[in-house]
Structure 1
Amino acid sequence: MKKVVIADHHPITRKGIAALLDGTNEYLIVGKVSRGHELLQCLERERPDILILELDIPEMNGFHALRSIRNEFPNTRVVIFSSHPEEIYAMRSIKSGAAGYIPKTSSKEIFLQAIKRISSGSIFLNEKIEQAYNNKSNTDNTIVGRYKKLSAREVEVLNLLSNGKRNKDIASLLEINEKTVSTYKTRLLKKLNVSSLAEMINQARMFQFS
């Protein structure tokens, strides 16, 4: 049986995932956590095969934390289970080391299919999203198109800015210097075709980056 840890700050979500997986007799739930420090302790103790992770749990820093987990626990396959917009976050998650992205709007059949595929060593993405990214045009200048072109690190910086973090805070969290943060902000303004930080943050919040 595959050992699974579930990390989500909603208790009903944790219980629901556990119930779904228990019903298959293929997975052993070895941890259910709601905060970043609990997750790291659990991963260190259990060394699970699969981590089902909501990026927004307290004490976690999104994609940066995801990359850190992948580096520290390379044998654990990470599945992002999130309510963030799939067309923006799915490929960012994969690029940051996740083995799959499952939206919280998925049916239980899709969820179990995804976990089974990931547990066997494959990558899971919604078929429509995968095709959209494979076929996307570099000339797509819609708002969604511009967000799709952001790198994983740019999305991280944007997410932190949207949550009111200052340059100094972002530099500390991402382990980069403040000048680099300023460079990312300038790049984001240009890529998202906005003229001010306030406009960029308001637009980001429309896409649930906050």
Structure 2
Amino acid sequence: MTNPIIRIVIGEDHRLLIQGYQSLLSKTTDIQIVAVATNFYEVIQKLKTCPCDVLLLDLTMPMASNSDVTRLSGLDVLEFIKKEQLGIKALVISTHRDYEIIKKVTALGAFGYVFKNINYDEFIEAIRAVASGKDYFPKEVEGILTSKLQDEERLIAGGVKITPREKEILKLLSEGMKADDIATLLGLGKYTIEEYRTNLIKKFKAKNTTNLVKKACDFKFI
């Protein structure tokens, strides 16, 4: 009995890497690339029109084909998949080793996260594991998450716990920056910033953003 075909959409803006994936995956009999997209809007369009099992996703891509500016648009893709409940299993393949980014990827429901220096056998293993519904986070990724766990939350006056990223966003909000501007500055999605702001308002039991900033100042946090 042959294994079912794993249908893959690739979200990657570097042509050389795309060709590399195509070459590597052509050696398998159970993995088929059904579409390739090189920016955020292309990925969304392909996910809507090309039935697939796994999305192989780079985090850093342009938003549109006419843009030379790259950003962490892969996070926006993950937000879209989660919001629309598409049921597509995302395997992120990235060079980013930042704890906050990896943690956000897991929070947005990605099934796996691997680095681009992965070897061929592990690459294929990761795709097959994710396709079968299993999480795939190598020891190096798990190590980053574990080692930073103690640094994730800080206790401040009033018993409010916030993360370093939340502190950064608080400071930018206090400077009057809008969610769109903060998203662009930090390379995150607008909805991600909105989520951070909503969580901060809840943590500080604030009425709105203005009240949030005031309370944060009262706690001498900013």
Q: TM-score range by the shorter chain?
A: 0.5 to 0.7
List per-residue Cα deviations over 1:89-112 (Å, max 9, x = no partner).
333211111110011111122211
- For residue 50 of structure 1, what is the aligned residue in structure 2? 54
**Cα RMSD after superposing both structures:** 3.8
Q: Does 1:122 align with 2:138?
A: no
C-alpha distance in 2 between matches for 1:72 and 1:83: 27
C-alpha distance 110-86 of structure 1, shift in aligned 2 (>3 A): farther
- For residue 174 of structure 1, what is the aligned residue in structure 2? 190
Q: Which moved more, 1:43-52 or 1:58-67?
A: 58-67
Structure 1: runs of 5+ lacking an equivalent: 142-148, 196-210
Residue 32 (structure 1) aligned to one of 33, 36, 39: 36
Do the aligned partners of 2:169 and 2:182 also contact (CA within 8 Å) in 1? Answer: no
Match for 2:53: what amino acid? D
Do the aligned partners of 2:99 and 2:148 also contact (CA within 8 Å) in 1? Answer: no
- For residue 16 of structure 1, what is the aligned residue in structure 2? 20
Per the TM alignment, residue 168 of structure 1 is displaced from its structure 2 partner at its CA by 4.9
Do the aligned partners of 1:51 and 1:77 also contact (CA within 8 Å) in 2? Answer: yes
- For residue 145 of structure 2, what is the aligned residue in structure 1? 133
C-alpha distance in 1 between matches for 2:18 and 2:113: 17
Q: Which moved more, 1:27-36 or 1:128-137?
A: 128-137
Percent identity between matched residues is 24
Task: Please say which structure displays the higher CA radius of gyration.
Answer: 2
Per the TM alignment, residue 69 of structure 1 is displaced from its structure 2 partner at its CA by 1.9
- For residue 91 of structure 2, what is the aligned residue in structure 1? 79
Per the TM alignment, residue 119 of structure 1 is displaced from its structure 2 partner at its CA by 1.0
C-alpha distance in 2 between matches for 1:29 and 1:112: 13
C-alpha distance in 2 between matches for 1:125 and 1:76: 17
Partner secondary structure for residue 105 of structure 2: helix
Match for 1:21: what amino acid? L
Q: What TM-score, normalized to structure 1?
A: 0.66
Structure 2: runs of 5+ lacking an equivalent: 64-71, 154-162, 184-188, 199-207
Map 1:81-120 onto structure 2 (within 5 A). Answer: 81-85=93-97, 87-120=99-132
Do the aligned partners of 2:113 and 2:141 also contact (CA within 8 Å) in 1? Answer: no
Match for 1:103: what amino acid? F
C-alpha distance in 2 between matches for 1:75 and 1:17: 23
Q: What TM-score, normalized to structure 2?
A: 0.63
Partner secondary structure for residue 79 of structure 1: strand
List per-residue Cα deviations over 1:22-42 (Å, max 9, x = no partner).
211111111111011111111
